Amino acid sequence: MTKLHLHLLSDSTGETLEMIAKAALSQFEGVDVERHFWPMVRSHQHLDRIMSEITQFPGLVIFTLVNQEIRVSLEAACAEAKMATVSALDAVTTCLSRVLGQEQLHRPGRQHQMDDAYFRRVEAIQFTIAHDDGLLWEEWEESDIILAGVSRTSKTPTAIYLANRGFRCANIPIVPQSPPPPALFRLKRPMVVGLTTSPDRLVQVRRNRLLSLNQAPETDYVQKDMVEDEVRYARRMFADNNWPVIDVTRRSIEETAAAVINLHNERRIERTGPKPV
C-alpha cells in the first residue's frame, strides 16, 4: 500500500480540485490517500500560515491559483521542500502516475466506489440532519462544527454542505426571546462559528421567505429595528464567547463553508499541531 498525502489548495472553494483529484485517483490501486484541503488561499499571509503543515507531509500539491505571485511563492516553497506541484489545469493524472510510480488503469467510473470516506460522509449527513435547528443539543459535544446565527443566515444549507465534506455539524438559531441552552457555552470538542449578515439583507431575505409561504410580510420578523436588535444580540454573544464570526452577506454557501473549513483547519493546528503521519 502506497501512502500519499494529497494537498488541494485553491483560491476559491476548491470544488473543481476535489472532482479532478477524485477522478484521477480512481485510476490507481493500492494507494492510501490522505487529503489536506486548503480553500480560499488569497494572500501571502494565508499561504505562509499553511505551508508549515503542508511541508510536514510531503506528497503532491494540486492547486488553482489566479494570483501569479502567490502561485510562484507556493511553487518555490514546495520546490524547497522537494514536493511536486501541479496546476489543476495541467495533466493531473500524469503527475500522479509519476508520484505514485504506477501506470493509470484506464478504468472509467471507479471514483464512484463506496469507500470509507463515502460512509463517513453519509454518517455526517445523517448526524447533521438530526441536529438541525437546535435539535438534540444533548449530543452537541459529538459535533465537529456548530453554526450559530439568527434566522435566515444560511445555517442549515451551510451545515449540509459541510456534512457532504465529512464534518458532523449542528446548528442553532439565536433568538433574543429564547436563549440557547447553557450546554452551548460549555462545549469543548466542537468549534462554534457565528454566522451573521447585514440587517438590510436579512430583512429582504425574510420578507421574500414570508411571501413564498403566502404569509403577510408585516411582522416583527421583518421589522428593521427588531432585526437590527437580533443581529446585535447575536454578535454580542459571539464576542462574549470568543467565537469566530463569518459575515455571509455577500458569500455563497460554498464560500461560507470554505471559510468554516479554514477556521477548522487552523484551530486543529493550534490545538494539536500537524496531523500524525
pLDDT at 90: 60
pLDDT at 145: 98
CATH number of 116-272: 3.40.50
Topology (CATH level 3) of domain 2-112 = Rossmann fold (3.40.50)
Q: How confident is residue 212, by pLDDT bands cut at 50, 70 and 90?
A: confident
pLDDT at 198: 97
Average pLDDT over residues 80-86: 94
- The domain ranges of the chain are 2-112, 116-272
Q: How confident is residue 88, by pLDDT bands cut at 50, 70 and 90?
A: confident
Binding-site entries: 149-156
* Assigned C-alpha cell, 270: 493550534
More confident residue, 14 or 181: 181
Strand partners, 191: 145
- Give pLDDT tens digits for 217-247: 778 899 999 999 999 999 999 999 999 999 9
pLDDT at 112: 53
Binding-site entries for ADP: 149-156
Q: Which long-range contacts (CB under 8 A, 24 or more apart) does 66-70 make?
A: 66/11, 67/11, 67/42, 69/44, 70/11, 70/41, 70/42, 70/43, 70/44
Domains 2-112 and 116-272 share a fold: yes
* Assigned C-alpha cell, 8: 488541494
More confident residue, 118 or 55: 55
> What Å distances lie between residue 102 and 26, 31, 98, 160, CA to CA?
12, 10, 7, 36
